Amino acid sequence: MSENALTRRGFLATSAGVLSAAALSGYVGFEAWERAYADDADEKNGTVSVVHSLCNGCSNKCGFAGYVVDGRLHKMIGDEAHPTGKGKLCARGYAYANIAYDKDRLTDPLKKNERGEFEAITWEEAFEEIGAQVKDILADKGPSALAIVEDPRPSGDYYSRRFMNALGSANIYTHAAACNLSCRSGAFLAIGANEWSSDIAHSKMTMFIGRSYADGIRPAQITAMQNGFDAGAHIVIVDPRYSNSQRFADEWVPIKPGTDLALVLAMSNVIVSEERYDTAFIEAYGEGFEEYAATVREYTPEWAASKTGIDAVTIRRLALEMADAAPACSIVAGWRGPSGCQYKNSGELGRAVALFNALLGTYGAKGGSKISAKFAAGKLDAGKFPSVPKPEVKQVGADEYPLARTNMGSALAAAKAAHEGKLSGMFFYNCNMVGGYANPAYLSEAVESLPLSVCIDVQMSETAMACQYVLPDTSYLERDEVPAFNGGSTPSVSLRSKVIEVVHPNTKPCDEIFTGLAKACGVGQYFEFTVQELAQAQLASVGVDYEAAKRIGTVGVPQAAPKASAVLTWGTPSGKVMFANQKCVDAGLTAAPSWIEPEVMPYGNELRLIEAKQPIHSHTMTANNEFLMSLTHRYDLTRAWISVKTAESLGVSEGDEIEISNTQHTGRIRAHVTNRIVDSAIYLPSAYGRNVKDQHTADGVGLCPADFVKFQIEPAYGSAMSHEACVTVKKVGA
């Protein structure tokens, strides 16, 4: 039994099956959670049904079987067939199920009155008023004046895009600008794919830069990481923090935040200078290698040592160890973590990492880098599901941030346009742009300045508070959705099915909300179908029966598997790995990745402020969950991390209250003094510091890292620069 096993067992039927206490000294193994939920005793005296569905606790959407007893969710068991869960669920997955019964649920459509207070209105009023304003905007300003920001979930993503395109607008943005836009856009420029994954279970060496599987949990990835480590893989974590993933790794390389690009350029220098690259791979698939090689020759390990705080000997050793392990090796790029993303140079880091893996010929190799094949629904009956005309206008931000992937877009560019009066209406679905992206004060002003603003969500949020209309979504447990198509070597489809009946009768599922909005806006002809009809048609297009999918949750589609080929293909314009890219030159960068200084660096006694996930929270989305927050309070997880050396210089001891300050914000929090962080940084978890009075569990708990960040957008790529902030720290009362 794990030393971190839960201390209390049981599934609380009255709270949708979420634990009240757990031992969380760092990472909690999945087996511990499963043991806590293994008791079936309460099922004996009730009517039990089993429904297969998808979790909504984060973007992984892991499959589960929900055991419903007398109409209430009693237990959740992970579905073995689901590709990201592989039969496991995490703390967030179990706890977030309580959202259906949460006391802070939105229950009625709301409209802000002249006093700035929300009042309940009917759905008919909401649709009619919003529709009338949309029509006025279209007539006066055109479709480019309308935008939506959404956090992709199966139905939400489909309906929001269809809705905006039906209005003629290309302004569709995901949460990626606050998460992985830089990483994915940089990768796409290099290899024509948004991302890759490490075949870590079979690798000889894998390096993680700013990515922690054990903090941003995808169960299948953690299992693969554990398997690789147990099999003897050399796993290296490059991070300013000693993260929870370190339990699956054998080396921690502490790095100054914002300097990951310097490390990768120097490692590339070693591979090129010592001619340890895969010549055959580059000759077969590469383009622009000579220009790339000339560029990286400038960045020696000695040069990088002064930037990164990692000595030149270590940099050279890591590069040569990767070469020795090739092609069964790879670097895994970071998402929203303390390194890897949200700096001025993060897009170029994503490109540099993708090209480093190409240098060693890791793509497609066992133990190397895996580019997942995409899988999507086939053509549908055009009579029943008519195609929406392609917008004739550009996405706002496309010219200013040309390297951003258009299917993600820069939500920050949209916010800037709203702040400058260039947008007239914005919709928000299942996302908290104001509270969770960068500089809530600026973003709140941007939304409040809009003539029309609509938020669709299950709870009040900072974004909802800034909007004029708030429309209550059902929880994910209360609705059917369109299928999620899972790509890769073994394609499958997963279905989110309705687990329980609607708890609050005046809430609506997102498909009905967007359909109602579309009809009110005059484009209802594109929504003359139910979500069940759409799901059935999409599944049928790939040869899957709808009722069968409902019965088992995830269905394999082997006929859609990519055909084996000895020749790799690349989704770039040239069909090659682009070691040098003219598009980057056109955007004001260099053809091959080169060093870009972070926007700010600590000066004098300043510390770099970094943020990252905790394994029990999905940023702001789960902060108001009373069961997860009980763990936060029990283990004092809001604390700011500072190093022992830094604490000594400040006269700070473990648990002391400290004041963190810069020109943007000042806040107080308890200190956690540790050797698990570099001396030049201070860490705050990303979930806390909520400022929503209707979130009775989360309001006022901890500090919000975004409060300390200026509103800044990464040049060319369009991401939030949410780690470009330095602060001073002092002991309260000193």
Whole-angstrom CA distances from 633 to 10, 461, 584 are 21, 21, 46
Write out the two tokens for 218. Answer: 């995808």
H or E stretch at 550: helix 546-552
- Cα gap 666→732, rounded to integer Å: 12
Residue 19: CB atoms within 10 Å? 23
454 φ/ψ angles, rounded to the nearest 5 degrees: -135, 130
- Cα gap 134→118, rounded to integer Å: 21
Note if the bond before 327 is cis, omega within 30 degrees: yes
DSSP string, 26-56: S---HHHHHHHT---GGGGGS-EEEEEEE--
- Residue among 112, 132, 137, 171 nearest 424 (CA): 137
CATH second-level architecture of 607-731? Beta Barrel (2.40)
- Cα gap 528→214, rounded to integer Å: 43
Question: What pTM value is reported for the model?
Answer: 0.93
| Cα radius of gyration rounded to whole Å, the chain | 25
User: What is the pLDDT at residue 643?
Assistant: 98
- Cα gap 34→505, rounded to integer Å: 33
In degrees, rounded to 5, the angle at the alpha carbon of residue 433 between the alpha carbons of residues 431 and 436 is 95
Name residue, tokens 């927050």.
629
- Residue among 251, 250, 255, 252 nearest 240 (CA): 255
- Cα gap 644→674, rounded to integer Å: 6
- Cα gap 106→505, rounded to integer Å: 11
Answer whether 411's CB lies under 8 Å from 397's CB. no
- Cα gap 454→457, rounded to integer Å: 10
- Cα gap 209→341, rounded to integer Å: 10
- Cα gap 409→417, rounded to integer Å: 13
- Residue among 476, 552, 406 nearest 59 (CA): 476
- Cα gap 265→278, rounded to integer Å: 17
Answer whether 594's CB lies under 8 Å from 528's CB. no
Name residue, tokens 């279209």.
138
From the number of C-beta atoms within 10 Å of its C-beta (0-12, 13-18, 19+), residue 299 rates as buried
From the number of C-beta atoms within 10 Å of its C-beta (0-12, 13-18, 19+), residue 547 rates as exposed
Each domain of the chain, given as residue ranges in start order, spans 110-179+381-560, 183-373+570-587, 607-731
638 contacts: CB under 8 Å, gap ≥ 6: 632, 669, 670, 685, 688, 701, 702, 703
Instruction: Give the three-state DSSP class for 266.
Output: helix
- Cα gap 724→342, rounded to integer Å: 7
Q: Residues in the chain, how many?
A: 734
Average pLDDT, the chain: 90
Name residue, tokens 């497609």.
364
Answer whether 714's CB lies under 8 Å from 641's CB. no
Whole-angstrom CA distances from 147 to 78, 113, 521, 529 are 36, 23, 14, 24
- Residue among 102, 106, 103 nearest 470 (CA): 106
Low-confidence ranges of the chain (pLDDT < 50): 1-28, 33, 38, 41, 338-339
pLDDT tens-digit series, residues 394-420:
999 999 999 999 999 999 999 999 999
- Cα gap 220→83, rounded to integer Å: 7
CATH topology of domain 110-179+381-560: Rossmann fold (3.40.50)
CATH topology of domain 183-373+570-587: Dimethylsulfoxide Reductase; domain 2 (3.40.228)
Whole-angstrom CA distances from 312 to 301, 308, 714 are 5, 10, 29
In degrees, rounded to 5, the angle at the alpha carbon of residue 292 between the alpha carbons of residues 288 and 296 is 175
From the number of C-beta atoms within 10 Å of its C-beta (0-12, 13-18, 19+), residue 688 rates as buried
Widest pairwise Cα distance in the chain: 73
